[in-house]
Homo-oligomer: A and B are copies of this chain.
Amino acid sequence: MTLSHSPTATGVHIDLATGILNGQLVSTQRRTIGDLSNVFADEAVRAAMPQDQLAYEVQLYQPIADGTAGGLFFGNTTIYPGTVGGEYIMTKGHFHALGDRTEYYLGVKGEGFLLFMDRDRGYKVEKMTAGSLHFIGPHLAHRVINTGTTPLTFLACWPADAGHDYATIQEQGFPVRVFERNGQPDIRTL
């Protein structure tokens, strides 16, 4: 431990009204429409959109090495509002590479759906709002969908050795998609 015997400010501050992290060890990842090939139902519409349009961004605080047993990471995700051919903008979604690793999401701003899928393609949907706390249990893929008209931001805490399995979702997708219909979300099974 680096010793500091005077009280110090912590390295990271979170704006509790917006969910934005500030701190030297915080990194940012951005996903544009161009990064999301084969995520949405209408690939032709997606391919015709501005490829540099921001779909979502992630702030990561990783104060311990990736893969460390017992370690934890913290971060946020902000998903921008809009649709791709009527389908709400969403994250790619993933299982954890170590399948039994769990996670929390905490809604801070905006509104959306958290979509879960188990290994048998069973699914459930939870509403995300400011203050909604979501436990992502073992062996559940998870994807977040912005169903509102403003950015959706949520905080997340997950094990440093969880890892990400994006490939299963890229190959098999989720069993439902969520479209905007008359300004309301319409959940369609495939």
Contact = CB atoms under 8 A, between A and B. Distances in A.
Interface of A: 1-10, 12-17, 21, 23, 61, 63-64, 68-72, 74, 98, 100-104, 106, 108, 113-114, 116, 118, 122-128, 130-135, 137-138, 140, 157-160, 162, 176, 185, 187, 189
Given A3-B122, A61-B133, A104-B157, A127 B8 contact: yes
Contacts of A61: 133, 135
Interface-centre pick from A21, A74, A185 (highest chain B CB count, 10 A): A74
Copies in the complex: 2
A190 to B, nearest CB: 13
Contacts of A138: 64, 68, 70-71
Given A9-B132, A187-B7, A70 B100 contact: yes
A87 to B, nearest CB: 16
A15 B64 contact: no
Contacts of A1: 116, 118, 122, 124, 137, 140
Contacts of A98: 70
A16 B130 contact: yes
Contacts of A69: 100
Nearest to A138: B70
Name the 6 nearest CB pairs between A and B, nearest first.
Answer: A70-B100, A12-B133, A7-B125, A157-B157, A63-B135, A70-B101
A162 B70 CA distance: 8
